[in-house]
Amino acid sequence: MFYRENGQFKTSYKSDQQIFPIPQDRWLILAIVAFAFLGIPFMVDEYLFRAILIPFLILSLAALGVNILVGYCGQITLGAGAFMAVGAYAAYNFLIRVSGMPALGAILLGGFTAAAVGIVFGIPSLRVRGLYLAVATLAAQFFWDWAFLRVKWFTNDASSGSVSVADIDVFGWIVNTPTDKYLFCLVILVIFSLMAKNLVRGSIGRQWMAIRDMDVAATVIGIRPLYAKLTAFAVSSFYLGVAGALWGMINLGSWEPAAFSIDRSFQLLFMVIIGGMGAIAGSFFGAAFIVILPIFLNQILPIIGGLFGLEVSIALVSHVEIMIFGALIVFFLIVEPHGIARLWSTGREKLRLWPFPH
């Protein structure tokens, strides 16, 4: 009834090339963004901000980075956590070692440092692919885990090994309350998502996808694998670096290398696989699934237990939570191997024709 395209005719290629060519989609996304900015800050409490929303925003950003590399360029990576760590520690060092360094500048420089490191660790992708590349990127993970733990310079000789950052200041805006942190991350995520979408719909994005789908044909058409793969590593690591800096400086405040361990790399890869490889929206779905679902299960399980008159202990909840979470992942991968984003787009296709089946 509402999701219809009839009567909407494109009269220029420009209007056909918009990010959301269907006006209904455009309005929906605008409404969601507007609600995120204007509605949510007045509706939720501090716990929700800290436990769910801020981690969700930052991990979405990181998942976007992983999706660019894995989903769009087809280069598998297990080093995502390491690039986040590089971003976080680089931003920290820029902030404390360069006097007068603005926080936003430090965060972006953290991203650029991660991009440079990403290019270096992306070089093996020119020779190896698939699982072998995964192992090669694993080297990045182990190397940086070690470096940030053992090389004291990175942590400014902190005796405990953990570093901390005071409230950050963005053009006079002191980002210290959960609402401020949420809004700051939201602004960055919106801008970065827009950039990611522009990149993947433009010439560079087509080069990445061409390399992913058929690299011999891509070369014959005049795409240089070296350029396409290394830019994908650079852009992906830039996103991861900025996400890492936000994770450390905004979400945690003080952190140790363990915050960016291999678990984080796996988590980000799972987000992209479950959310949808090669779809920008997939990054958000994946992050939401992995961040929100465990907490949701945690809250809902005792209530369900109560319905059946069962006393559910906290230990049991955490065990059952992991089991259900795992089962859901398997379920999703069987039902839709292309991720939640594909489920979403199939749903939209159906809705466009509803109530007719074809």
Partner 1 sequence: MSGRKIGEVILDLKNISLSFGGVKALQDISFDVREHEIRAIIGPNGAGKSSMLNVINGVYRPQEGDIILRGVHHANMDSYGAAKAGLARTFQNIALFKGMSVLDNIMTGRNLKMKANMLQQAFWLGAAQREELEHRLKVEEIIDFLEIQHIRKTPVGRLPYGLQKRVDLARALAMEPQILLLDEPMAGMNVEEKQDMCRFILDVNDQFGTTVVLIEHDMGVVMDISDRVVVLDYGKKIGDGTPDEVRANPDVISAYLGASH
Please give the residue ranges that form the binding site for partner 1 (CB under 8 A). 13-14, 17, 195, 198-199, 202-204, 206-207, 209-210, 212-214, 216-224, 231, 235, 278
User: How many residues does the structure list for the chain?
Assistant: 358
Q: How far is the CB of 197 from partner 1 (least distance, A)?
A: 9
Q: Identify each DSSP E strand in the chain by its residue range.
A: 163-164, 168-170, 173-175, 254-255
Q: How far is the CB of 212 from partner 1 (least distance, A)?
A: 7
Residue (159 or 203) nearer to partner 1, CB: 203
Which residue do the tokens 């430090």 mark? 106
Characterize the bridge pairing of strands 163-164 and 173-175: unpaired
Closest among 84, 34, 43 to 64, alpha carbons compared: 84
Q: How far is the CB of 126 from partner 1 (least distance, A)?
A: 14
Characterize the bridge pairing of strands 173-175 and 168-170: antiparallel
Enumerate residues 6+ apart whose C-beta is below 8 A from 3.
Answer: 24, 348, 351, 352, 354
Residue (104 or 223) nearer to partner 1, CB: 223
CB atoms < 10 A from the CB of 15, how many?
11
CA 295 distance to own-chain centroid? 19
Q: How far is the CB of 13 from partner 1 (least distance, A)?
A: 5
The H or E element that residue 150 is part of is helix 131-150
HSE-up of residue 220 (Cα within 13 Å, Cβ side):
4
Residue (165 or 235) nearer to partner 1, CB: 235
Could you give the CA distance from residue 11 to residue 76 in angstroms, rounded to a whole number? 40
Residue (30 or 323) nearer to partner 1, CB: 30
Q: How far is the CB of 205 from partner 1 (least distance, A)?
A: 8
Q: How far is the CB of 115 from partner 1 (least distance, A)?
A: 11
Residue (50 or 338) nearer to partner 1, CB: 338
End-to-end CA distance of the chain: 16
Q: How far is the CB of 218 from partner 1 (least distance, A)?
A: 7
Residue (104 or 235) nearer to partner 1, CB: 235
Reduced DSSP (H G I as helix, E B as strand, rest coil) percent helix, strand, coil of the chain, to 5: 75, 5, 25
Residue (47 or 227) nearer to partner 1, CB: 227
* Residue 327, both tokens: 């089962």
Residue (212 or 229) nearer to partner 1, CB: 212
